Structures are given as C-alpha cells and as structure tokens.
C-alpha cells in the first residue's frame, strides 16, 4: 500500500483540466482508517481532503517516469498519471506511446515527418522497444511474428471518428506491403517506390473505398462510414501474393439524409465535379449537385476542386483493380439513377401518396435501373400485406411512400458497395481466389469504429458499441492471458485471479433472449413497433440477474441503458425497428432482381447470393482451398434461395453474423493493438484537451487493461536492467563487483532487501523480477534521495577545490602586481633622480659661471656698493641653486605645479631638518603612486584593476611622473588579463 507523507506528490481532481499536480503539506490520521491530507497546488492554494486510504488523491509518479514511453512501466498506474504521460509526450511532439501491448496514437492533425523512407528503413528488422514508439514498430512486430512461424497476425486499429484510424491503417499496410529493402524515395507518402503490381492494387483500394464509403461529417472531413478488415496474404517465402478486403456495416442512412454540416458519400460530388459535360448530360446529371435532393440537404461543399481530382484518381484506381470503362459507365449509371430516385416528387391527396406518371426524375431513374416505371410507382405508393389466406393491398401516405423510395435507394447503394468490394477482392486475389489459395499466412489490419456515445444514441451506436464490447472482451482475455503466461513461464507463485469480465454485457446484447434477438422478433411482426420492442426489453431484461448491465433510465421514456465496459450509454429506441429491417418491400426486390439492366442484376446477385456460403473463397481452378481463414463479409441476404423464400435478414443479424466470424478469426491470430486518440474536437494541430482524451482512454479500454495489470505484477524488469539501475542503493563495495561478475539476480535480491520491500510485493522469476504496483516508485524515490546526497557532496567538494584554486590564484596575481609596480616605480624613480642630478650639476655650473662673472664685475667696479630691495634678491645662493631649491621646496609655486590637481591640501612642512632633494623627490613620487592607486581602488573596490586611465594622470595634471607611468601600466596586457581572470 502506498503511503502519504509531507512532500508526497499527488493529483488533485479539477473540473477543467481533469487533474492538477499538488503536494501533501501535512498528513494526519483522522480516525482508525481515515486520514486528513492538506494539499498545496501549484498556485499555493490549499485543499483539505479526508477519507479512507483508497479514496485519497492518486499519487504522482517520480519525474523520471512521468513521460515514460511505455505506460506499463509507470509505478503508480492511475488515470491522471496515464493522461499526464500521454499529454507530456504529445507536447514534446511524440504522438506515439506504448501502453503494454497497445500503441496509443494521438492525432497530430498536421503532416509530421515520421513516415519518411529513412524512418521506414530504421524500423525494418527492429524489435518493439528498441526505438521510439511508432506504428511501424507494431507493423514490424506483426510481420516478424508472421515470418517466424507463419501464424496469422491481426492489427486492430480503433478509436473514435477522426482519431486517425484510417490514416494509421494505411501507413501500417504500406509498411507491411513495402519490399523489405525499399529504395529511398523522397516522396514521404509513397515509400514503396517501385511497388509490385499487387502492392499497387492494394493501394488502389483506398481511393475506391474512400469514394464510395467515406463522407464528410462534423467530426471528420473524410470519415469512413464502414468498418474494414484488410488481409495481406503472404506465400511461404513471406512474399506478398495478394490481399482480401472485408467490410462491415456501411452506414446506409447517409444516402438519403444528411445533417446540414455533413455530406453524402464523396462519390456523388466527385461524379458531378469530374464527369465530362457530355457524359453528365447523357446521365441527366448536372455539375451543380445542389439540384439533387440527396445532395442538397447537407452543407455546401468546399472541396469541389479536390472532388474533381479525386474523381480522376478514383477512376484510375478502378482501372488498376480491373474494372474496365464499360463497367465504370454502368456504375455511374446506377449512381445517377439513385440521384434521380431521390428527386421523385411524392405528393399527398387526402390520405394517399401520389407520384405523377410523367415525373421526369422517375423516368430517368427507371431508365437507368431498367425497371418498369408503372410497377415501380405502384409499389412505392401502395403496400401489400400477405396473410395466411389473402393478400391485402393498402395505400401509403406521402411520408411512407418517400420512406419506400429512400429504402430502395439505400438498398441499391449498399449492394453496389458490396459488389465493389467483391470486384476489388477479385483483383487482389485473382478471380478464383488464386492468391488466397497460394497464400500460407497473412497479416490483417482491422480499421473499426471505436466506442460511441452521443447525446442521442440510436441503432448505429448500438451496433458499434456491440462490436467494441466484443473486441474489448477479446482484448481483456488476450492481455490477461499474456500476463498470466508470463507468470507461468517465469515460474512465479501465482494464483490465477478472475477479473470483472464484460461477458454479461455481451450476453445481454447477443444472447438467446438478448436485445438483438428481441429486436429481430419484433422486426418480423407486421405490426411491430419501437414501443412494443421497448416493452419486450423491459419485461425480459429488467431482472435482478441483469441489474449490473441493463437499466431503465429514470428520465427518458423511450430508451434503455446498457452499462458498457467503457461507460453507461442510453439508447433511444425510436427508429430501431425501421433501421434493423432496412430492406426494400418484397415487390420492389422482385422488380429490381428482374431488371433489364444486366449490371444491376449482377450487383444484386453478388450482394445477395454470393455470401455466407462463399465465406471461404471458392477453390481455385486447381481445386486448392485457401488455408487463410476468412473474416466474414457483410451479407445482405440469408443463406437460403432467392425471391419470396428468402428469409430477409435484419441488419442486426447480419452484423452479428459477420462479427462472430471476425472474432473466430481473431482468436486464431496474434493480435496487436493500435488505439487512436483525438486530442481535440476542432481538429487543431497540437492542441490537447485532457478531459476529452481521458474519455477516449476509458472508452479504448486502456484504463481497464491497467486495472487488470494492477491486479498482478505490472512492473517486470530483467535482472540485468534492474541491477544496473538500482545497484547504487546497496553498499559501493558490493554493487559494482557483482555487476562486473554479472551476478545480477543476487544484486537484485540485495537491492530489494536493502530497500526493505515486503516479500509479498515482489517475486523473483527465472529471468525477471516482478513488482507490484507502487514498488518501483519507492525504489525510484530511494534512488533519487541517494543521488541527491551524492550530488550535494560533489557540489560542496567542487566548491572547496574551486575556492582554494581561486585564493591561490588571487595571491599570485597580487604578488605579480606588486612586483611589477615596484619595478615600474624604481624605473621612474631612477629617471627622476638622474634628471635631478643633471639639473643640480647644471645649476652648479651656472652658479660657478655667475660667481666668476660677479667676481670679474666686482674687480672692475671696485669699491662700489649695490642696494638690495626685492624678495628674490633676499634669496641666498646662485640662481641655479635657487631654482633647484624652489623645485623641491614646499609651499612654493613649483611645488604646487608638481602637486596632483586633486590633492586637497599641501604636504605639511618638514619640521626640523630640511629633507634632501632626493628624499623629497622619492617621497613625492611614492605619495603620487599611493594616491593614484588608492583612487582607482576606491573606484573599483572589489577588483585588482590597474589605475583608471581617467585618473589623475590623464586629467591634464602637470605631474610629470604619473602620466607616463600610468600609460606604461595601461599598455601592459598582463594587467588586463589578470584582472579579467579575477573578475
């Protein structure tokens, strides 16, 4: 059990973000089994939580694990931690994350450079986990497993609409179909340069299926409105020999109705935009598609140009899969017929529906369908009820007649789609399934709609969620089985545990007296209704045995609720019967199957009768039956004959049948999972809406899987990996030697003992160490604490060494500086002294000359007296002597010239003895030095910088010594470099 203590990192629930990080400020025991936590979030806001240990906030993982590329390695496996890991990685532009055997793929909503030929090359031959998570890693894993023992593989790609299933499935298929050493191609969308014919055919299926099966919806501009399973077939040499496509539950209602923001199937717009004018005219069509009722209910098309381009691409693709020009024209005629069908005017007179005999749309439609217009009109506005003894014909109201008209259009379109899939398959496997019979093994890719829940959920959501419930069951069984297999293989003590399985929900839907059975029963009653269906449901299913899965909603009358594995969904019964029956009246079926249009007959024949019996492809001419299991196909009729003896299957039963076949096949294969996630509703690149993704993680069963995982030992480490990471937890004398001797298991034992992990919380297997949830977090915390202590010691030791070095360096610099200053001062002093001596000598000579001159004068004017009145005359000595005296005397004019300009007061006079000239000069020089130095030191007190160039010597002072000395100093680079160093 994980513990809370001050400093523990937790997740606090938040209505906007889902969860926000917080820290435990204090933890106290409130009662015997309840605790009170005071939490502080990032903004410093305090929150107090009180509750039993299980209800306390989820713990956060150590930072190292927070953006782990495999969620299964998280120590605290909880919703917020998983969401946070996916969000952090997405913010780092990492769209793929593993969650055990599942790859989570978050839609980037913009082209990402992750599928280049270079990246394809990187993933070929590499095992999952060697490189960053990627769907190529999953594809390579599947291919390698298939190549190894020939076992069939299936990659299930699921997710909600717009999450990126189709794009992911296409990339996976391209990777698998790519030659295993493709030439590098600069076009990132086509890394299969030089693809073989089979590969080209496989790629050609995309534009065809997308044109006929995709449409613009509010959630996705290119939404696949059907599920599909594509099987890539390989021979014994693991070379691709062909492929097979199976489709599930095409959304038929779209053909006759679309909401304002959605569109009909792309093919209709492509036809109007891309067909040449003469061909359009021939078909009675118009480039302005808004003239057709089936196309003008939805929003305006903003992609006409791309519709035209796509039409040509689709036409080329039809050619590649072997549908020739004549067949193409027949297809376009049928499509034109459907558009005209939608334009047939139905009016109402009193209580009867009326269609004009010469309605141009009806005539056009019947012309292309090859059906008699009178008969068509009759059975569109009338209805025949066959009783045991009689046939009763009644008239229909206008809305009922419109309903019949639309059901015919939907039925023909569904048959056309089915025929196309068959044609594509013939091209991919050869007419007699030749490739399928040569194939030894396969990799299948299932692109299936994810769990859906809207404000109003109807029959479509019921079927989709039924499929997801079945897939989830397979998934749980598979994950659980895998987990347990590992325990057995590693020989650890393990009691097989049961997990809450979703079988009850599946039984509720498909059981003998389940929802689908009751719906079929009601659908077959001539007077069956949605209300009586709901009544049946409540009578049969609202029982204590179903309490956990079936509920009658409190606030909705015409609805029922199913507790799915992901969440509870309430279905409105309104329209269930109509959608389940969705078939044409018997009279119309007869009209269509006996049409003059040979192509229409072929289409219906293919769709209605080459079905379940042909579930396994027909034997090739050589009589070899395919070894490859067939994932089933959408059958539009039962297994019995044609005409009135056909027991018309309901959509529900068709879907149940094909799903059953699919599940049988999945059980025979190794399954790989890709769960696509849509990060936001407005298709914005790199925007992440946590609450929305959380709902998808729940719906994708990721959290359910985690729940299963946490029941056992979710963290598994090989002894070596574990030892190398955690050896620092034991004594340094023990760890490294054990690693050197490769005694990893022994080291693991020492680590868990040293960390005082309870024995019930880990198990030693044969090659792996199994840890219960939370243990890894404890070990990570211990490791972080130890590393922090080591780092602390290292930091302080480094600081000490650096300080010592610094002081030594500082002393050296100061020593050099004082030596250098001494040298410079001595040099200056010598210069001054020499100059002074010279001047003294000159003065002496001058004095001698003057004395001689004076003596001469005296001799010539003997006896004459001269008056002495000026100050100068009072000075004793010769003029030279007087000048020298003035120069070195204090208080004189010369002295002031020598003084530094900023010297506040003159030097006090020497008391007693008058200093010698040399003494005075030396003293002045040294004082000048000292003062200058002090001034510059004052200016930059913390440095050992040389005297500033703006100091006294450069301010125009008359100091004849300081200027050249400073200049010398300034010229010395050693000063600057040493100064910088000390900075």
Residues annotated within the binding site are 159-166
- Find the shortest distance in angstroms from Cβ 337 to ligand ATP: 27
C-beta of 166 vs 546, nearer to ligand ATP? 166
CA distances from 128 to 139, 165, 232, 837 (A): 9, 20, 21, 94
Q: Please tell me the distance from the alpha carbon of residue 173 to that of residue 189, in angstroms, as a whole number.
A: 12
CA–CA dist 953, 928 (Å, integer): 10
- Dump the DSSP string for 446-471: EEEE-----SSB-HHHHHHHHHHHHH
Q: CA geometry: angle at 839 spanning 834 and 840, to 5°?
A: 95
> For residue 757, what are the CA distances in angstroms to 684, 763, 771, 785?
46, 11, 10, 16
Q: Which residues contact 53 (CB under 8 A, 6 or more apart)?
A: 1, 33, 35
Smaller CB separation from ligand ATP, 115 or 713: 115
Q: How far is the CB of 697 from ligand ATP (least distance, A)?
A: 16
Question: Token pair for residue 799?
Answer: 């600081």
Nearest to 215 by CA among 228, 226, 202: 226
Shortest spacing between CB 134 and ligand ATP, in angstroms: 11
| Site of tokens 């769907």 | 135
130 CB-contact burial (10 Å; exposed 0-12 / middle 13-18 / buried 19+): exposed
Complex with ligand ATP: residue 140 or 522, whichever CB lies closer:
140
Q: Which of 73, 220, 437, 634 is catalytic?
A: 220
Nearer of residues 78 and 224 to ligand ATP, judged by Cβ: 224
Task: Decide the pairing of beta strands 762-764 and 347-349.
Answer: unpaired
> Of 224 and 580, which has the nearer Cβ to ligand ATP?
224
Closest distance between ligand ATP and the C-beta of residue 166, in Å?
Answer: 3
Q: What is the DSSP string of 726-752?
A: HGGGS-TTTHHHHHHTT-HHHHHHHHH
Q: How far is CA 931 from the centre of its chain?
A: 70
**Can 166 be counted among the known catalytic residues?**
yes
Distance CA 864, CA 876 (A): 20
The answer to whether 306 is a known catalytic residue is no
- Catalytic member of 18, 152, 162, 370: 162
Catalytic status, residue 450: yes
Nearer to ligand ATP, 122 or 222 (CB): 222
The catalytic residue among 61, 223, 465, 773 is: 223
- Does the annotation count 452 as an active-site position? yes
Short-list 609, 598, 607, 604, CA closest to 326:
598
Considering the complex, what minimum distance in angstroms separates the CB of residue 453 from ligand ATP?
15
The tokens for 795 are 């930091």
Could you give the angle at which helices 530-541 and 515-524 cross, rounded to 10 degrees? 140
Find the shortest distance in angstroms from Cβ 681 to ligand ATP.
12
Angstrom distance (rounded) from CA 385 to CA 477: 48
Q: Which of 75, 154, 166, 546 is catalytic?
A: 166
All residues at 6 or more sequence positions from 283 whose CB lies less than 8 Å from its CB, including other chains: 275, 332, 333, 336, 368
- 56 vs 448 by CB, closer to ligand ATP: 448
| H-state helical runs in 191-265 | 197-213
Residue 220 bears catalytic tag: yes
Binding residues for ATP are 159-166
Cα(920)–Cα(939) distance, integer angstroms: 28
Of these residues, 100, 298, 450, 632, which one is catalytic?
Answer: 450
SS (H, E, C) 254-276: HHCCCCCCCCCEHHHHHHHHHCC
Q: Are 840 and 884 in contact (CB under 8 A)?
A: yes
Residue placing its CB nearer to ligand ATP in the complex, 19 or 96: 96
Specify the 3-state DSSP secondary structure of 683: coil
Catalytic residue among 73, 217, 224, 546: 224
Q: Which is nearer to ligand ATP, 81 or 107 (CB)?
A: 107
In angstroms, what is the minimal distance from the CB of 165 to ligand ATP? Answer: 4
Q: How far is the CB of 207 from ligand ATP (least distance, A)?
A: 14
Please state the closest distance from residue 452 (CB atom) to ligand ATP, in A: 10
| Active-site residue, 557 included | no
Q: Give the residues lining the site for ligand ATP (CB under 6 A).
A: 107-112, 159, 161-167, 220, 222-224, 449, 676
Can you name the residues that pair with 46 across neighbouring β-strands? Answer: 40
Which residues are catalytically annotated?
A: 161-162, 166, 220, 223-224, 450, 452
């Amino acid at each position: 059990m994980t513990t809370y203590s001050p400093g523990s990192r937790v997740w606090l629930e938040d209505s906007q973000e889902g969860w926000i990080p917080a820290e435990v400020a204090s933890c106290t025991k409130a009662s015997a089994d309840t605790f009170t936590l005071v939490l502080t979030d990032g903004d410093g806001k305090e929150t107090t939580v009180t509750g039993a240990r299980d209800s306390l906030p989820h713990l956060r993982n150590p930072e190292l694990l927070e953006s782990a590329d495999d969620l299964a390695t998280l120590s605290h496996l909880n919703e917020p931690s998983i969401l946070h890991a996916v969000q952090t990685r997405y913010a780092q532009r990492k769209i793929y994350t593993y969650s055990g055997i599942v790859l989570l793929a978050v839609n980037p909503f913009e082209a990402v450079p992750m599928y280049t030929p270079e990246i394809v090359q990187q993933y070929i031959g590499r095992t999952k986990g060697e490189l960053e998570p990627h769907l190529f890693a999953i594809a390579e894993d599947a291919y390698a497993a298939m190549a190894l023992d020939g076992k069939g593989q299936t990659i299930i790609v699921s997710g909600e609409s717009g999450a990126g299933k189709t794009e992911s499935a296409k990339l996976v298929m391209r990777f698998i179909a790519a030659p295993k050493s493709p030439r590098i191609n600069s076009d990132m969308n086509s890394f299969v340069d030089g693809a073989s014919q089979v590969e080209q055919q496989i790629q050609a299926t995309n534009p065809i299926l997308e044109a006929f099966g995709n449409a613009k919806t509010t959630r996705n501009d290119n939404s696949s409105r059907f599920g599909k399973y594509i099987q890539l077939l390989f021979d014994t040499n693991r070379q691709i020999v062909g492929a097979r496509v199976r489709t599930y539950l095409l959304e038929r209602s779209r053909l006759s109705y679309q909401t304002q923001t959605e569109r009909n199937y792309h093919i209709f717009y492509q036809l109007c935009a891309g067909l040449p004018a003469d061909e359009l005219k021939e078909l009675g069509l118009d480039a302005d598609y808004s003239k057709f009722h089936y196309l003008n209910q939805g929003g305006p098309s903003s992609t006409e140009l791309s519709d035209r381009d796509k039409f040509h691409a689709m036409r080329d693709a039809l050619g590649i899969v072997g549908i020739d020009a004549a067949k193409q024209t027949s297809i376009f005629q049928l499509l034109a017929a459907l558009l005209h069908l939608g334009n047939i005017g139905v009016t109402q007179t009193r209580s009867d529906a009326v269609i004009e005999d010469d309605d141009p749309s009806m005539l056009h439609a019947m012309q292309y369908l090859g059906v008699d217009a009178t008969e068509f009109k009759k059975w569109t506005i009338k209805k025949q009820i066959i009783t045991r003894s009689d046939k009763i014909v009644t008239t229909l109201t206008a809305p009922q007649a419109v309903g019949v008209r639309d059901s015919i259009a939907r039925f023909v379109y569904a048959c056309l789609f089915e025929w196309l899939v068959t044609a594509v398959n013939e091209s991919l496997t050869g007419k007699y399934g030749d490739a399928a019979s040569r194939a030894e093994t396969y990799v299948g890719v299932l692109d299936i709609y994810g769990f859906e829940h809207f404000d109003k959920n109807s029959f479509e959501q019921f079927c989709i969620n039924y499929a997801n419930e079945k897939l989830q069951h397979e998934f749980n069984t598979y994950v659980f089985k895998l987990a347990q297999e590992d325990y057995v293989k590693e020989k650890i003590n393990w009691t097989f545990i049961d997990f809450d399985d979703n079988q009850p929900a599946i039984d509720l839907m498909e059981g003998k007296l389940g929802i689908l059975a009751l719906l079929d029963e009601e659908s077959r009653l001539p007077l069956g209704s949605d209300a009586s269906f709901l009544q049946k449901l409540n009578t049969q299913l609202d029982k204590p045995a179903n309490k956990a899965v079936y509920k009658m909603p409190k606030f909705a009358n015409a609805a029922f609720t199913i507790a799915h594995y992901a969440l509870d969904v309430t279905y409105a019964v309104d329209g269930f019967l109509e959608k389940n029956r969705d078939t044409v009246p018997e009279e119309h079926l007869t009209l269509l199957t006996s049409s003059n249009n040979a192509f229409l007959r072929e289409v219906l024949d293919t769709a209605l009768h080459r079905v379940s019996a042909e579930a396994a492809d027909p034997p090739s001419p050589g009589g070899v039956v395919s070894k490859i299991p067939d994932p089933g196909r959408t059958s539009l009729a039962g297994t019995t004959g044609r005409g009135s003896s056909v027991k018309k299957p309901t959509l529900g039963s068709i879907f149940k049948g094909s799903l059953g076949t699919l599940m049988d096949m999945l059980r025979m294969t190794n399954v790989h999972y890709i769960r696509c996630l849509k990060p936001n509703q407005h298709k914005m690149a790199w925007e992440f809406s946590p609450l929305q993704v959380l709902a998808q993680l729940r719906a994708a069963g990721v959290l359910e899987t985690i729940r299963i995982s946490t029941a056992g030992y979710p963290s598994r480490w090989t002894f070596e990996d574990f030892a190398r990471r955690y050896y620092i937890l034991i004594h340094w004398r023990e760890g490294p030697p054990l690693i050197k001797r490769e005694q990893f298991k022994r080291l693991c034992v020492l680590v868990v003992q040293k960390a005082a992990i309870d024995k019930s919380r880990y198990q030693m297997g044969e090659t792996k160490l199994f840890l219960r949830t939370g243990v890894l977090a404890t070990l990570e915390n211990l490791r972080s604490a130890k590393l922090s202590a080591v780092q602390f010691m290292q930091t302080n030791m480094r600081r000490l060494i650096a300080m010592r070095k610094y002081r030594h360096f500082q002393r050296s610099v100061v020593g050099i500086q004082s030596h250098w200053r001494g040298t410079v001062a001595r040099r200056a002093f010598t210069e001054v002294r020499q100059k002074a001596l010279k001047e003294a000598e000159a003065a002496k000579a001058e004095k001698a000359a003057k004395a001689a001159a004076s003596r001469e004068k005296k001799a010539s004017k003997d006896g004459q007296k001269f008056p002495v009145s000026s100050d100068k005359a009072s000075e004793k000595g010769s003029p030279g002597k007087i000048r020298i005296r003035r120069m070195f005397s204090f208080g004189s004019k010369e002295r002031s010239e020598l003084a530094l300009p900023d010297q506040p007061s003159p030097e006090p006079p020497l008391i007693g003895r008058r200093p010698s000239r040399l003494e005075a000069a030396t003293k002045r020089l040294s004082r000048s030095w000292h003062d200058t130095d002090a001034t510059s030191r004052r200016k930059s007190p913390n440095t050992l910088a040389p005297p500033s160039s703006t100091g006294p010597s450069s301010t125009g002072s008359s100091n004849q010594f300081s200027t050249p000395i400073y200049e010398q100093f300034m010229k010395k680079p050693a000063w600057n470099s040493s100064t910088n160093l000390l900075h």
